[in-house]
Every structure is written in structure tokens, then in C-alpha cells.
Amino acid sequence: MSIFIKKLFQFLFSAIFIFIFFSVFNQIEEKLVLIKSFKSVFALIVFLLVSYVIFNKNFFEKYYKRYLLIGIIIIAFLVRLRTILTVESTLISDFALLYNTANKFLNGEENVFNIPYYDTAVYNIPYTLYLSFIIKYLGGLFTIKFLNILWSLGIVILIYKVTEKIFDYKTAAIALLIGSLFPPFVIYTTVLTNQTISIFFLILGVYLFLNKQFIYSGLFIGFGHIFRPIGTVFLIAILLTLIFTFLIDFKFSSIKFYLTKLVKDFFKIVLPYQLVIFTISCCFFLFNITDKTLYYNPAPSYKLLVGLNPERTGQWNKADQNLLRSDNFEALAKNEINKRLSNKINLINLFEEKFKLMWGKLDAVFFWSNYNSPSKKQITNYFWLIIVFSCLCYVILRKAKKMQNEEIFLLVILLGFIIAYLLIEIQPRYRYEIYPIFIIFAAKGCSLLYINLKQHNYFIEKNQNSNSKSI
């Protein structure tokens, strides 16, 4: 049963990563720009050299703990610091509204959160309060961005820890290197997005779950959820993983014991998760911040309505936004959703186009940061292409029987996001929150590719030696 599920995941994700790979490749405008750009070539050479050093057994094991990992983290910090110092990003759209509302809240203006924006995005209130706290006690915009560097470094270190927990320290070092240099991870430090903080807590929750610290895992996934409401995907993945483990481990003679353990483990995660959301919601009332809670969702059909809009390829649009203001929105939305679901051919075409846009298009970080750098855009495209290719190497070269439950857990999280973004509103910016999973599998793909190439060369050399002896 377990081998069948693992092989099913291998087949499914082989198709997914192939589709993403060609989606990215086809949208790259200048296929030879990497060769033309000195910076791109230099960056690629540095990446390959460091990767070789990591996989070189003698060198790596001798200097691993002393220099290499600390060096990569220092480089990650300096690259991010240089970015916030040189990229003059301007606050636009939602990010400008969040920052301005934080300042209004500090100035004592009443009912700053009682506006249509926060009515449909209550989850942005905790991040706005976070901005208010930083502005009041630690400084202004630069301080917020500098703290983004620390959150971002925390993310890449957690990526390293999760990868080391599942695989090995060499693979983890590759994951750390990718996370440190991947341009979106670097440039998002200039953007006031709640995703950076949310990702940190969610990946911390994942790491604690892998270490079977279920209570703390639920607690930190809850913190991640209050900044961006995607914790549910992680909870579903946790439940499915626990069930999968239960089906493998349990014996009919002790079914009561294993079933009780399954329920206890899940509630150890769910209760702290809900406690965080409930407590923050109560604080909203206690401090007269808003009369809404984090459970409040005035238009549950809205994201689905937008996501199924074929004219806008599942992206934000004014028509659906205007419909949201209607008194009988849910009835109108339900009718429109049923219409959009009725045409199966259009629906399949929509899913295909949405998939290409969501996972193949250039990351929107350049738009949100107002950073117009053609060379960096192309480097990002190629970097993302390499990550996806490495993920493909992972699912092809990884033997099903050696796949661990932890790997299935991460694949379920990834699959959950892929399915969700086939149905709901998409933005390439939303990829940011799932990049860590791609990076972990890409690192293992690099490791497996290196091992297979090394074994291939070994057999070639062995055959050549045997042939020369026979002569």
C-alpha cells in the first residue's frame, strides 16, 4: 500500500514538474541571455563551485562546521542588506494601504480597520499591528525591511534544518545555498508583505512536526496562519500524513491503541493552532481594534469566483470585485460559479492557462518592489528553471521504497497548493509561500543527480580498465 502511494506521487509529480519546467522555459524571452550576461555566468560558476565543494567528501567534512555554512549565511545576509540599500522600492496597492493604516492607527484615528478592505481581509490586521509596533518602538520603513532580512534568514536556516532532518547535511547545505541566493527570496525583503513572517512560522511548524513536537508545531502553524490564512493546507497535510503513518504502522490486534494515538497526535496540533487564532480574535474585541474575528469571512465564494473567471484567467478583476459589493453576493456568486463550472472544455483550458501563469510566469516580486532589472529577471527565470529541473530529477531518481513519510508530507503540502490554485484566485506572488518546499526537493534532486553521474563515471572507468587489461 505504502509503495503504491509513493509510486503514485512519483508519477504525479513527474508530470507536474515537467509541465512547470516547460511553462517556465517557454516564457523566457531570450534563451541565450545567460551566456551574454557576465553577471549571470559568474553567478552560475560560483553556484557550481560551491555545490562541488559541498559534494566533495574530504573537503566538505573537514571544513563543513567551521566555515561553509556560516559563510553561506553571511553571504545571504550581505546580499539581502545590499538589496534593501540599493533597491528603492515604492509602496503600492495593498502594501501602501497597510503601511498608511499602521501610521493612522498610531496617530489615534478611530475605526481605521472598519473599511471594506479589512472587512474582506481581516487576516491583514495582525500584520498591520505588527507594522505599527515596529514604527512606534523600533523605527520606520528601513527598520521593517531590515527585520525582513532577519525573517528571511530565519526561513533559509529552517529550510536547511528541515532538509537535514529528512535527508542529510550535504543536501541541506545545497538547500541553504539555493535559499540564500534565489532572487525572489532576496528581493521580497524590500516588500512589506505578510508572507515573509507567515512562511517563517509555517516552516518552523513543519520542522517541529517532523521532530514530533506536535503542540509547538500547532502553535507556530497558528502564528503563520494569523499572518496569512494558509495554515489549513498544512493541517490537512499533517492529518493525511498521520493517517498514512497509521495505516502503515497499525496492527489489527492493537487497532484501538493506534487509533487513539492518531486522534491524540492530531488534537495536539489542532488545539494549539485554534488557541492562537481564538486568542488573537479575542484581543481584537478586548482592545477595540475591530468587531471582526479571524474566523470572519463575509464572502466565502469570492476567491473561487475570481479563480474560475476564464476572461481574466483566474486573476483579480473589477467585475468580480464589484459583484462583491452586492447585498445578495453569495446568491449571485453561486449562480456565476455554477455557470463557469458547467462548460467542462473551457474549465480544462482555464486550468491549463492558470497552471502556466501561476507556476511558469516570472515572479511578481519585480513589480511589487518596483525593481526593473532585466538581467535580474532573466537570472530569476533561469534559477527557477534549475530548481524545477532539480525537483524533476528528485522524483525520477528517488527510489520509491526509500521515500520517507516526511517526504510524502511535503509532497502533500505542495499538491494541496497546486490544487487550491487551480480553483481560487492566482498571483505569481503567491508562489513565495511554497518556494521552500521546491527548494528542499531541488536540493535532493541535485544530490541524486551528482550521485548518479558519479556512479555512471565509475562504471565507465571500470569498463575501460577491464578492457585495457584484456588487451
Q: How far apart are CA 176 and CA 189, in angstroms?
A: 17
What is the CB-side half-sphere exposure of residue 280 using CA atoms within 13 A? 24
| Cell triple for 83 | 538589496
Give the Cβ contact number of residue 126 at 10 Å.
Answer: 22
Q: How far apart are CA 446 and CA 391, in angstroms?
A: 8
Give the Cβ contact number of residue 316 at 10 Å.
Answer: 12
Residue 449 burial (10 A CB sphere; 0-12, 13-18, 19+): middle
Q: How far apart are CA 374 and CA 386, in angstroms?
A: 18
Q: How far apart are CA 467 and CA 471, in angstroms?
A: 6
Residue 39's pLDDT is what?
54
Residue 32 burial (10 A CB sphere; 0-12, 13-18, 19+): exposed
What is the torsional sign of CA 436, 441, 444, 445?
A: negative
Q: How far apart are CA 286 and CA 111, in angstroms?
A: 15
| Residue 194 amino acid letter | N
Residue 33's pLDDT is what?
47
3-state SS class at 210: helix
Q: How far apart are CA 269 and CA 316, in angstroms?
A: 34
What is the torsional sign of CA 395, 399, 401, 407?
A: negative
Residue 411's pLDDT is what?
92
Q: Are 313 and 428 in contact (CB under 8 A)?
A: no
pLDDT by residue, tens only, the chain of 471 residues:
577 778 888 888 888 888 888 888 777 755 444 444 555 555 555 655 665 555 555 555 655 666 778 888 898 999 999 999 988 888 888 889 999 999 999 888 878 888 888 887 888 999 999 999 999 988 889 999 999 999 999 999 999 999 999 998 889 988 998 999 999 999 999 999 999 999 999 999 999 999 999 999 999 999 999 999 999 999 999 998 888 877 776 665 567 777 888 889 889 999 999 999 999 999 988 888 888 888 888 778 888 999 999 888 889 888 888 887 777 888 888 998 999 998 888 899 999 999 999 998 888 899 898 888 887 888 888 889 889 999 999 999 888 888 888 998 999 999 999 999 999 999 888 999 999 999 999 999 988 888 887 776 545 545 555 554 444
Q: What angle do CA 384, 387, 388 make, to 5 degrees?
A: 90
3-state SS class at 252: helix
Angle of helix 405-423 relative to helix 195-210, nearest 10 degrees?
Answer: 150
Q: Are 257 and 243 in contact (CB under 8 A)?
A: no
Residues 6+ apart with CB under 8 A from 313: 350, 353, 354, 357, 426
Please name the residue that has the C-alpha cell 515604492: 90
Please name the residue that has the C-alpha cell 511554497: 434
In eight-state DSSP terms, residue 139 is -
Q: How far apart are CA 21 and CA 348, in angstroms?
A: 20
Q: Are 386 and 443 in contact (CB under 8 A)?
A: no
Q: Are 248 and 240 in contact (CB under 8 A)?
A: no
**Ramachandran quadrant class, 56 (left: phi over 0; alpha: psi -120 to 50; beta: rest):** beta
